[in-house]
Structure 1
């Protein structure tokens, strides 16, 4: 059953939920964009509903709530080690379908990717409850429909759609129902809005042969890509990080260990002991990132890593389009298949 709330009713419902939950949502930050006269929509903790941006797609994803850019994992001395404390209150996280689908990808990588689960990720994940923001239309550079991330039917506490000054709420978790029941104007069936058509389209090949790594399509990115890593930081499914030890004493026996977000596209990320480097050129790095999104992840988990949010296209300073890269891979695979049939 769904609920219809006015602006005041929605504020009252969130005020009630704030008694138990911390709330994180996309918020418009004045002058926080690439220039002082450009705003940015980023995630932050909110005390009430009015700052929440429900109309525009956020510039950065919701993953920073679950995997902070810099997170202290534990503190150490010569004699003991202690895990860093975190806020243990449950969290309500507002996000769109593509981002919610991206969180499932992160769950697979951190929790279902081998014998052991990432404990530091798990303890945050256990506190997290999703709030689905309905999408009334597609945004620039989005290709979520072709990636199958445009619709989410479960896995969230409640959904919210703001239509004609009213908030339409669909509740799935009973724990939050009373907050909306007490503040609603009326009850009726509510189905969260979702995108059914994007202006941008991609074709992901069913199978991508390993020979694609030698295809010349990657060469143009040796000069086009500047290796800034912005695409990775904006992406909701990128999870690269580095480990940093911060020492409080000169002898290096007291300090803390941090997990810090990083990027497979930046110079130095694949450096190894002895001066080796696995991927030296930007073309090689673009190849690695792309095939990880639409080939390698699928081989392990059965579905693609990319959710088609388009943020990488939005943020790239060199106007490199990831959707175009996917289509170039599809064209190259088709070309290779034709050549193979001719030589058969």
Structure 2
């Protein structure tokens, strides 16, 4: 059902939702960017719809809510283990179509990949999603190429119009909440039909492309900072850390911490070995996982075309540019095979 609400009416709805849920959305954090005297748009709790940044792309994705940077799984003593308590409230997350598609990727990894991740599932089951309509493409976005530029899999959709907000509510338990404060108005979420950046994944792409010389370019260009992984809404790798308390070295907690395939140590093994010591090999692994390996397993590409990796790279390495080089790289390796 579609409605139009004033800012005050929407805030009243948020106040009602906040009684049982923490509401998260992209907000402007003044001076929060790693670069000096610049702001950062990142996910945080909101109390008013005016706090939501609709006209700019967030530097980081919703992922920090469903997969915290650091999450305590359990506490341990010498004699017992205690599971960490779940969050007291559920969650409501404002996100764009590309990120909503990324949730499906994350669900496939943590829920439908041969096992169910208990800690992810207990959080995921209590989260609702609010789609933010996109009237125009942002810099470096290529969601249209990846087929993630529109989505109907939301609980609520919203975007500003004039002095109010248009919304479409699909969740039956929220219908009365919004209907009682707004006027009925037909609304379909805006979405972009094309982006300035276009990406084409070769139809004949195979693992043979790993032998191409294109990856050597990134040996020197990439500085293995891992920022692309942490900004990406579909990167799901983590590591475990055991923290021992100083007052008793046999008591502590185990944490799940986000990890990055681009940083040193990710592929280190016992005996001093490292599977991907060169930065170009790490880039190869990341790119092919997003547009080859994942599709072979699940039937669709892992990358959702949000472009955050291109936005955030301090060395101006373009992921979309790397994907568009794959066609030439496949020609290269196939020609070498014939010679």
Relative to the length of structure 1, the TM-score reads 0.95
The structural deviation recorded for 1:50 is 2.3
For residues 330 and 323 of structure 1, the distance between their equivalents in structure 2, rounded to whole angstroms, comes to 13
For residues 248 and 20 of structure 1, the distance between their equivalents in structure 2, rounded to whole angstroms, comes to 33
Unaligned runs of 5+ in 1: none
- Specify the alignment match of 1:269 in structure 2: 266
Q: Is contact 1:264-1:289 (8 Å) kept?
A: yes
The structural deviation recorded for 1:269 is 1.1
For residues 40 and 235 of structure 1, the distance between their equivalents in structure 2, rounded to whole angstroms, comes to 16
Asked if 1:298 corresponds to 2:277, the answer is no
Pairs aligned (count)? 339
For residues 75 and 47 of structure 2, the distance between their equivalents in structure 1, rounded to whole angstroms, comes to 31
Q: Is contact 1:24-1:43 (8 Å) kept?
A: yes
For residues 9 and 31 of structure 1, the distance between their equivalents in structure 2, rounded to whole angstroms, comes to 31
Which runs of structure 2 are paired with 1:14-25 in the superposition (5 Å)? Answer: 14-25=14-25
Q: Is contact 2:206-2:292 (8 Å) kept?
A: no
Asked if 1:315 corresponds to 2:312, the answer is yes
The structural deviation recorded for 1:5 is 1.0
For residues 57 and 320 of structure 1, the distance between their equivalents in structure 2, rounded to whole angstroms, comes to 19
Which runs of structure 2 are paired with 1:139-154 in the superposition (5 Å)? Answer: 139-154=138-153
- Specify the alignment match of 1:125 in structure 2: 124
Deviations 1:210-257 (A, max 9, x none): 211110000010000000000000000011211100012587431110
- Specify the alignment match of 1:205 in structure 2: 202
The structural deviation recorded for 1:300 is 0.6
Which stretch of the first structure deviates more once superposed, 76-85 or 241-250? 241-250
Cα distance change of structure 1 residues 179 and 334 upon mapping to structure 2, 3 Å threshold: farther
- Specify the alignment match of 1:243 in structure 2: 240
Relative to the length of structure 2, the TM-score reads 0.96
For residues 34 and 285 of structure 1, the distance between their equivalents in structure 2, rounded to whole angstroms, comes to 24
**Secondary structure of 2:173's match?**
helix
The structural deviation recorded for 1:54 is 1.6
Asked if 1:332 corresponds to 2:314, the answer is no
The structural deviation recorded for 1:153 is 1.2
Which runs of structure 2 are paired with 1:62-141 in the superposition (5 Å)? Answer: 62-114=62-114, 116-141=115-140
Q: Is contact 2:22-2:91 (8 Å) kept?
A: yes
Partner residue of 1:176 out of 174, 177, 183: 174
Deviations 1:147-176 (A, max 9, x none): 01110012x110001122220000010111
**Cα root mean square deviation, aligned:** 1.6
Q: Which runs of at least 4 in structure 1 moved beyond 2 Å after TM superposition?
A: 34-37, 47-50, 249-253, 333-340
Asked if 1:165 corresponds to 2:163, the answer is yes
Q: Is contact 2:261-2:282 (8 Å) kept?
A: yes
Deviations 1:237-292 (A, max 9, x none): 01121110001258743111011111100011111111111101000000000000
**Secondary structure of 1:145's match?**
helix
The structural deviation recorded for 1:88 is 3.5
